Structure 1
Amino acid sequence: MTFSLALVGRPNVGKSTLFNRLVGKRLALVDDRPGVTRDLREGEGRLGDLRFTVIDTAGLEEATDESLEGRMRKLTERAVAEADVCLFMLDARAGVTPTDELFAGILRKGAKNVLLAANKAEGSAADAGIFEAYGLGLGEPIRLSAEHGEGMSDLHAALMPLADAYAERAANEAPETDVTLRDDLEDEDGEDFEAPNPRAAITAARPLQVAVVGRPNAGKSTLVNKILGEDRLLTGPEAGITRDAISLRIDWKDVPMRVFDTAGMRRKAKVVEKLEKLSVGDGLRAVKFAEVVVILLDAEIPFESQDLRLADLAEREGRAVVVAVNKWDVEEDRQGKLAELKESFERLLPQLRGAPLVTVSAKTGRGLDRLHDAILKAHDVWNRRVPTSRLNQWLSAMTEAHPPPAPGGRRIRLRYMTQAKTRPPGFVLMCSRPEALNDSYRRYLVNGLRADFDMPGTPIRLFVRGQGDQNPYKNRTKSTPSRLRKHLGKGPAGGY
């Protein structure tokens, strides 16, 4: 990418719609109501032969205090100051409003380069608004329809001279983007990605993907800001501020990471509005493609039913899990509370027994070192591979200590075990009568794998397969001998 392009304008003028069109994917949430976007979202924009970083911003508000709208405006002004080009968008059908005139003056003073775009300009109803746009003093407006893709060639022509001016900048100086949430179980060729050393697989090109999830107002955005060392995400006492799953690229203690801040997730029965459903869906998508999921709990009300659902979701998706308890700075009886948390964790989440449980304070930054180490440890376990020879020695010892059941008086023979995959660890057990091996014995083997090969907390998949029966007469019908005798011309049964 050679330059960055910030999309700015009043709420509901189509910034997120244009952002999705430029990146080629429906990344930003779009709704008819104004003020859907609150945080800054970056993506890899493509327009013809141009490649650039496009930034979707919150709608410019007139508020300048510490209200939610005022904090949103400060983030947008920050994007304006840092971006190479600002595309000031207005609603051509609504015409130029006093708010548009106010912000046009702000952009003239603070932006490096400003382009004017009149969106929703399809049809003759937008002609009057386009003529009014000339009065803003920002040059000729570009007539666009972000929803229908009209005017993209005119936007390309306006950006081309600016792209040439920034062409000398190195590509690695461009901001990191979050366009593709790739499935890390596969590499670019579609093959399973395995690495003998999990840390060696974490590079700038393949950063460790971490999703921070939790209930509303648990402190997720505050925690991510503290990790970044700057107020990059919108925070405040209001619950449900974050709506999009925002991805941020950081080097946390020299470890390249991509951290996803997600919207707070309430119980499904309470999610009735369309916008909240979109926000939750965006967060679930981040969980699906993350490598490590940090479940952030509130120390005052930990392990609520929704926390347990989120932990179960991460386990079912096969993600490595770290449980972090926030707001630890206000806890008085810390030792007693910690013992209570560990007991609740073991009792309520047996499927994640041994997963890291750390206490943090997103406000003060206390415990972030422990959280960093816990994330890397969970990632190492998630990538762990056990040699086949050790597995089969272990299997023999496990069957000697506790033989498999013999339903109907017929013993089940466990013949062979191998590890088929990592991320999460997956094992294949070859045995006779796999359908008869009950769930309790499978749990016995999984718990043994977790304990004996030091794989605490990570999801473990055990696939039981049957070994082919070598009896050639097993599937023959009773009529086979008589048909065979008729074919060979033999006499009645018992003689020739």
Structure 2
Amino acid sequence: MPAPQVIIIGRPNVGKSTLFNRLVGKKLALVDDQPGVTRDRRFGDAELLGLKFQIVDTAGWEDEDAESLPGRMRQQTEAALETAEVALFVMDARAGLTPLDEEIARWLRGTKVPIILLANKAEGRAGESGLLEAYSLGMGDPVAISAEHGEGMGDLFEALVPHLEPLQVEEEDEEFDEEALLRGPLKLAIVGRPNAGKSTLINKLLGQDRLLTGPEAGITRDSIAIDWEWTQQNGEVRPVRLIDTAGMRKKANVVEKLEKLSVADARHAVDFAEVVVLLLDATRGLEHQDLKIASMVLEEGRALMIAINKWDVAEGASSLFQGIRGALDEGLAQVRGVPLLAVSARTGKGLDEMIKAAFEIREAWSRRVPTAALNRWFDDALNANPPPAPGGKRIKLRYITQAKTRPPGFVLFGTRLDSLPESYKRYLINGIRRELGFDAVPIRLTLRSPKNPFAKG
């Protein structure tokens, strides 16, 4: 099924081609202050906060004889409307309504295609009067935008979703790309305090003394990336890029300039990783510095795992594991249930399970949920636990979309979102993790309310 079509209609020089370029993400349409630059229909693949459609730029509507060039351009616009799911009727808020705008509006009201009225160039106060005039067209509330500056795109998304969301299709090309990404090397960084056994662990995986190790803390100073192949139990070979990093001490203890550079390099390595394993020392347990490192990894948006090393010499293993599990859940409240494994870099215990879990969490970190499935879950979540009404005023949550992956990022649209309690945001984030297969990966939730076009800024 082809992507749904959205057509842009309006008189000359109201910013149709600028809007077209904004939605396709590149300058495909020629833009100039001179009216009539666009003469034929132009098609482009557009994406707005995860909503995908084909956008059609049309010539400026002019009231001319059908045999003239402007008249033939108008006929192209009329033909384009026949295959469109939605029409974006663009007027210039700074210039205000013109008789030609009113004529186009009369014609559009006679069509069966849903119309969204856009008041372009509405940034600042110069567009306020034109925005008010737009209400007189009888086409509902105008959406205030600035195609040139990208303002109002969230409100445009909200207006388009009811018409386009049921028509969304999963593109095979995108699925192929995501699969290819997951077939690529797993970028796995090993971080932790000095002398936790990071280099020893990597040497054990490699089966050779590739990295210098010893009882002295701080031997590793540079982040070292090593390409390796992991053989699964079924015999399949998976590529891995292992990244060994310098130990991260408390800032107060980082006094030497070289060590400061090493810690900065370790942070840099986290930026380039997909999954980060925080290695703990079983003989020392979980310390405050470990929680700081874990929080830093999550703030960077990386998938996090915790591995307790030196398990072969741990005392009171069961109580130690449960104690660390409880402390992690309390200290990392933003991501409960981070994978926790017991390993031994010296004997190799648990390393196979660690690599297997790293591939699984990368898959969750890269997951994209179709908009339709996401909003079905969203409706169920709202019915099960409606948002509160602070001061008796209802918070209205309308739509949610996944804007990005790696880490997963979601945009929630509604009104009075500044009053939405943090506890309700956590309820939604935990539901996304639990019910949509994101497990313990960091999730970003952005709140987006329609802007008041008359607010003084």
Normalised TM-score (structure 1): 0.54
User: In the alignment, which residue of structure 2 is the partner of 1:475?
Assistant: 454
**CA–CA separation in structure 1 for the residues paired with 2:329 and 2:296:** 17
**CA–CA separation in structure 1 for the residues paired with 2:365 and 2:359:** 10
**CA–CA separation in structure 2 for the residues paired with 1:316 and 1:357:** 19
Does the Cα contact within 8 Å between 1:431 and 1:467 map onto a contact in 2?
Answer: yes
- What is the CA distance between 1:194 and its match in structure 2? 6.4
User: In the alignment, which residue of structure 1 is the partner of 2:335?
Assistant: 352
User: In the alignment, which residue of structure 1 is the partner of 2:295?
Assistant: 312
Matches within 5 A, 1:354-369: 354-369=337-352
User: In the alignment, which residue of structure 2 is the partner of 1:165?
Assistant: none
Matched, 1:213 2:196: no
User: In the alignment, which residue of structure 1 is the partner of 2:49?
Assistant: none
**CA–CA separation in structure 2 for the residues paired with 1:195 and 1:228:** 32
Return closer, same or farther for 1:445/1:362 CA change in 2, 3 Å cut-off.
Answer: same
User: Highest Rg: 1 or 2?
Assistant: 1
Return closer, same or farther for 1:282/1:290 CA change in 2, 3 Å cut-off.
Answer: same
Return closer, same or farther for 1:269/1:227 CA change in 2, 3 Å cut-off.
Answer: same
Deviation track 1:54-85 (CA, whole Å, cap 9, x = no partner) reads xxxxxxxxxxxxxxxxxxxxxxxxxxxxxxxx
Matched, 1:461 2:444: yes
User: In the alignment, which residue of structure 2 is the partner of 1:235?
Assistant: 213
- What is the CA distance between 1:476 and its match in structure 2? 9.1
**CA–CA separation in structure 2 for the residues paired with 1:476 and 1:267:** 47
**CA–CA separation in structure 2 for the residues paired with 1:423 and 1:383:** 5
**CA–CA separation in structure 1 for the residues paired with 2:346 and 2:175:** 36
- What is the CA distance between 1:340 and its match in structure 2? 2.2
- What is the CA distance between 1:196 and its match in structure 2? 5.9
Runs of 4+ in 1 over 3 A off after TM superposition: 193-200
- SS in structure 1 at match of 2:271: helix
What is the Cα-based RMSD across aligned positions, in Å? 2.0
**CA–CA separation in structure 2 for the residues paired with 1:196 and 1:357:** 31
Does the Cα contact within 8 Å between 2:279 and 2:309 map onto a contact in 1?
Answer: yes
Does the Cα contact within 8 Å between 1:406 and 1:412 map onto a contact in 2?
Answer: yes
- SS in structure 1 at match of 2:209: coil
Does the Cα contact within 8 Å between 1:194 and 1:422 map onto a contact in 2?
Answer: no
User: In the alignment, which residue of structure 1 is the partner of 2:151?
Assistant: none
Matched, 1:278 2:261: yes
Return closer, same or farther for 1:195/1:299 CA change in 2, 3 Å cut-off.
Answer: farther
Matched, 1:321 2:301: no
User: In the alignment, which residue of structure 1 is the partner of 2:201?
Assistant: 223
User: In the alignment, which residue of structure 1 is the partner of 2:226?
Assistant: 248
**CA–CA separation in structure 2 for the residues paired with 1:407 and 1:336:** 43
Does the Cα contact within 8 Å between 1:202 and 1:255 map onto a contact in 2?
Answer: no
- SS in structure 2 at match of 1:352: coil
- What is the CA distance between 1:195 and its match in structure 2? 5.0
The percent identity for this pair of structures is 53
Which has the higher relative contact order, 1 or 2, with Cα contacts under 8 A spaced 6 or more apart? 2
Normalised TM-score (structure 2): 0.58
- SS in structure 1 at match of 2:239: strand
Residue type of the alignment partner of 2:270: V
Does the Cα contact within 8 Å between 1:414 and 1:429 map onto a contact in 2?
Answer: yes
Residue type of the alignment partner of 2:409: G
Residue type of the alignment partner of 1:458: V
Return closer, same or farther for 1:365/1:405 CA change in 2, 3 Å cut-off.
Answer: same
Deviation track 1:196-222 (CA, whole Å, cap 9, x = no partner) reads 68564245xx42211100000000000
Return closer, same or farther for 1:267/1:348 CA change in 2, 3 Å cut-off.
Answer: same
Number of aligned residue pairs: give it.
279
Does the Cα contact within 8 Å between 1:198 and 1:379 map onto a contact in 2?
Answer: no
Matches within 5 A, 1:421-436: 421-436=404-419
User: In the alignment, which residue of structure 1 is the partner of 2:381?
Assistant: 398
**CA–CA separation in structure 2 for the residues paired with 1:215 and 1:476:** 51
Matched, 1:379 2:362: yes
Does the Cα contact within 8 Å between 1:355 and 1:378 map onto a contact in 2?
Answer: no
- SS in structure 2 at match of 1:212: strand
Residue type of the alignment partner of 2:408: P
Deviation track 1:286-342 (CA, whole Å, cap 9, x = no partner) reads 011110001000112222111101100110000001110000011243333222222
- SS in structure 2 at match of 1:315: helix
Matches within 5 A, 1:164-179: none
**CA–CA separation in structure 2 for the residues paired with 1:372 and 1:457:** 16
- What is the CA distance between 1:251 and its match in structure 2? 0.9
User: In the alignment, which residue of structure 2 is the partner of 1:300?
Assistant: 283
Matches within 5 A, 1:60-79: none
